[in-house]
Chains A and B, each alone.
Chain A
Amino acid sequence: MSLALVSPALLVAGFVVIGGIGMSLVQSLGLLPLVGVPSLSLDAYLANGEELLIGTGLSLAIATASTVLSCIIGLTAAVVITQGRRTGRIVAAVSALTIPIPHLIGAAAIGLLISDAGIIPRMLGIPGTEWPDLVGGPWWVAVVLEYTWKESAFVALVVAAVLATRVARYDETAALLGAGRARRLRHVVIPLARPAVIVSAIIIFVYTFGSYEVAWLLGRPYPEPLPVLAFRLFDSITLTSRPEAAAVAVVTTAISLAVVAIGMACLRRTPLWK
C-alpha cells in the first residue's frame, strides 16, 4: 500500500535516474552506436584512458578538499550560530543569504574578485604578475574556494538546526557536569553533530564531484575534472565520441554511488543513528 502511495514519485525519479544511467551505461559499452553494428566493448573507456585517470584523481581531490573545508568551516559556523549571541545571528543571516545564490553567479563573482586582474589584487595594489594563480592555477584554489563558500553555508544551517534542537539540552547537561566550552565541544557537541555532518558531507562530495560549471569557469583547460571532460566529449563535433562521454559519466556516477555507500556505512555506525 505504502509503495503504491510513493509510486508516482518513484516512477518519475526512476525514469530519470535509472533511465539516464542505463542509457549512459549501454552507450558507453558500445551497444548504442550512432552508426554501425552494436558490439560489446570497453573501447569508450580506453579511448581516453589517461585523461580519465587524471580527471578522476583531480575530481576526487577537488571534491575532497571542498568537502573537508566546508564541513570544518560549516561546523564552526553552526557552533557560533547556536551560541545565540549577535555574532551568531550575523553568521546565520550570512549563511541563509548564501544559499539562494547560484553556483554560476558565485563562480563569476569569485573570478572577478581573486583573478590576477580581479578587484582584490587591484585594491591591494598588487600587480597581476605577482598575484598567485588562484583562478586557472595548478592548485584549483578558486574552484575549491567557490564550493567551500557556498557549501559551508549549507553545512552551517543544517548542523545549526540539529545543534539547536537536539544537542542544546545535552550541552547544558554537560556544562552542569563541569565540562567547559572546549570539552563540551569535543565530548558532546561534535559527536552528536556527527550524523548531520556526515549527511552534509555526502551531499557536498557528490555535488562537487559531479558539478560542471564552476570547474569549467574557474579551472584551467588541462587537466580536466571528470564533468568537464564528459561535457567536452559530449559536445564534441565528432559525434562518435558520444560513447566516450557516456563512459566518463558512468565512471563519475559509479564513484559517486561508492562514496554514498561509504558515507551511509559511516552514518550507520554513529550511535545517534540507531
Chain B
Amino acid sequence: MSATLEIDALVKTFGAATALDGISFAVSAGECLAVLGPSGSGKSTVLRSIAGLDVPSSGRILVDGADVAGVAPERRGMAMVFQRPLLFPHLSVLDNVAFAATVSGQPKSEARADARQFLELVQLEGFGDRSITALSGGQEQRVALARALAARPRVLLLDEPFSALDPELRADMHSLLGQIRRQLNPTIVMVTHDRDEAAVVADRVALLSTGRLLQHDTVERLYTRPASIEVSRLMGGRIELAGEVRSGVHHSAIGAVLAPEGETWADGPGMLVVRHEAVHVSTLPVEVPPGMVGVEVVVADRRARGPRAEITLACGDGLLEAEVPASRPLAVGQSATAHIPRSACTVVPAP
C-alpha cells in the first residue's frame, strides 16, 4: 500500500492554456503530501495525471521508480476519493467496498468478508447491508474511503474529499485519516484548497499557483520560511516589511533585524515577512527577551473576530499585524511594544 511517487517536470496544456508548467516533487513511501493551491492552480490536474485520467503533455510520473506513462488507470494501482463520494447506487454499502475485490475476480463471499474489515476500519460496522441512499454525507465519504482502501492502492489519491462536509464532520474525517495512516501507512496525495486541512493532515505540502510549484516543504516551513512573497500571501501571511539587507541584517521601518541562528540573508533589497501569530503585544514596560526584536508601536486598527481580535500596529511607515484575545483592552491609538522572535523572521525577494 505504500509506494514511492515521483513527479518529474510535469507539463499539461489544454489547447493554448497551460494547466501545469513543469511540476516536480517526490513523495516517499507512507508519506502524506498535500497539494495545496487556490482554484485554477492545477492541483486537480496533478492528481488526475497521477491517476491516469489525464494524459500529461510532457514529463514523467514514477511509481516505485517505474514510469507509468501509457499505463491505463485500472492498472496503475491508484484509488481516488473525490469531493463527491460517487458510491455506486446499484450496490449495497458492503458491495461498494467489495467492488475492487469483486472486479479482480475474487469469490463474492471472500470479497465481502474483506470489505467488512474496511467498514470496521472507518467505524461503519453493521452498515454493510444498507442501501447507499440510507447514509448521511459523512458516512458516504467514509464508505468511499473504505472502498478506496480496500483496493489496496499503491498510492491513495484524495481530491478535496472533505470539502463538502461541515467543519465538525471534517475534523472527524481528519482524525479518521490519521488513524488509517497509523494502521495501514498508505502513501497519500491529497488535493486541497484549505491550508488548515493541509496543516492537520499532511507531512509535507506542495504549494501550487497558476500551474507552477511555488514551494514543496514541510507545513511548518511553508508557514515560517516561505520561499517567496507569493507563498507567504497564499499561506495567509499578513506582515510584509520592505527594506534592505546589509551585512546580513535587514533594515526596515521596524529597525534592524538580525537573521536567525544558523541562517544568512543575502545582501540587497528584500521583504521581511513574519507570521502575525508570532507577534506578541505588550503594554507593560518589559525588557526585550533574548532572541526577540522589540518594536515600539501604536494600535492603528482593531477588528473583532469572535473570541479573538485582529489588531494592526503602526511603526513609522511599517505596519504589523497581531492577534490578541478579545478580552484584552487594546484600543486604537494606544501605545504598546511588539515583540517578534527573530526565529520567526524570513526575508524573501522583493516583488
- Do A and B assemble together? yes
Chain A residues at the B interface, C-beta cutoff of 8 Å: 169-170, 172-180, 183-184, 187-188, 191-192, 194, 270-272, 274
**CB neighbours of A272 from chain B (8 A):** 89-90
Contact of B51 among A169, A174, A176, A178 (CB under 8 A): A176
Known: A170-B88, A174-B88, A178-B151. 4 other contacts (CB 8 A): A173-B82, A176-B79, A177-B79, A177-B100
Minimal beta-carbon separation of A168 from chain B (angstroms): 11
**CB neighbours of A271 from chain B (8 A):** 89-90, 131
> How far, in whole Å, are A191 and B99 apart by their CA atoms in the complex?
14
Contact of A169 among B72, B76, B82 (CB under 8 A): B82
> How far, in whole Å, are A188 and B74 apart by their CA atoms in the complex?
14
Q: Can you list 30 A-B contacts with CB-CB less than 8 angstroms, sorted by A residue number?
A: A169-B82, A172-B73, A173-B82, A173-B86, A174-B88, A174-B99, A175-B53, A175-B74, A176-B53, A176-B74, A176-B76, A177-B99, A177-B100, A177-B103, A177-B147, A177-B151, A178-B74, A178-B77, A178-B100, A179-B100, A179-B103, A180-B72, A180-B74, A183-B103, A184-B103, A187-B102, A188-B88, A191-B90, A192-B89, A272-B89
> How far, in whole Å, are A102 and B103 apart by their CA atoms in the complex?
43
> How far, in whole Å, are A175 and B75 apart by their CA atoms in the complex?
8
Cβ-defined contact, B74 with A169, below 8 A? no
Total contacting residues, chain B, CB less than 8 A: 28
**CB neighbours of A172 from chain B (8 A):** 53, 73
Cβ-defined contact, B103 with A187, below 8 A? yes
Minimal beta-carbon separation of B283 from chain A (angstroms): 57
> How far, in whole Å, are A271 and B151 apart by their CA atoms in the complex?
24
Interface of A: prevailing SS: helix
Q: Total A-B pairs in contact (CB under 8 Å)?
A: 72
Cβ-defined contact, B90 with A176, below 8 A? no
> How far, in whole Å, are A170 and B80 apart by their CA atoms in the complex?
12
**Chain B, Cβ-Cβ closest to A172:** B53
Question: Does B133 touch A at the CB level, under 8 Å?
Answer: yes
Interface of B: prevailing SS: mixed
> How far, in whole Å, are A192 and B89 apart by their CA atoms in the complex?
8
> How far, in whole Å, are A271 and B72 apart by their CA atoms in the complex?
30
Q: Which of B106-155 contact A (CB under 8 A)?
A: 131, 133, 147-148, 151
> How far, in whole Å, are A250 and B194 apart by their CA atoms in the complex?
65
Cβ-defined contact, A179 with B53, below 8 A? no
Minimal beta-carbon separation of A17 from chain B (angstroms): 34
**CB neighbours of A169 from chain B (8 A):** 82, 84, 86
**Chain B, Cβ-Cβ closest to A187:** B103
> How far, in whole Å, are A243 and B351 apart by their CA atoms in the complex?
91
In order of increasing CB-CB distance, the 4 nearest A-B pairs are A179-B103, A175-B73, A177-B100, A191-B90
Question: Does B78 touch A at the CB level, under 8 Å?
Answer: yes
**CB neighbours of A188 from chain B (8 A):** 88
Q: Which of B51, B73, B76 has the most CB of A within 10 A?
A: B73
Minimal beta-carbon separation of B32 from chain A (angstroms): 18
Contact of B90 among A177, A178, A180, A270 (CB under 8 A): A270
**CB neighbours of A170 from chain B (8 A):** 86, 88
> How far, in whole Å, are A191 and B86 apart by their CA atoms in the complex?
15
> How far, in whole Å, are A188 and B89 apart by their CA atoms in the complex?
9
**CB neighbours of B86 from chain A (8 A):** 169-170, 173
**CB neighbours of B104 from chain A (8 A):** 178
**Chain A, Cβ-Cβ closest to B147:** A177
Cβ-defined contact, B74 with A179, below 8 A? yes
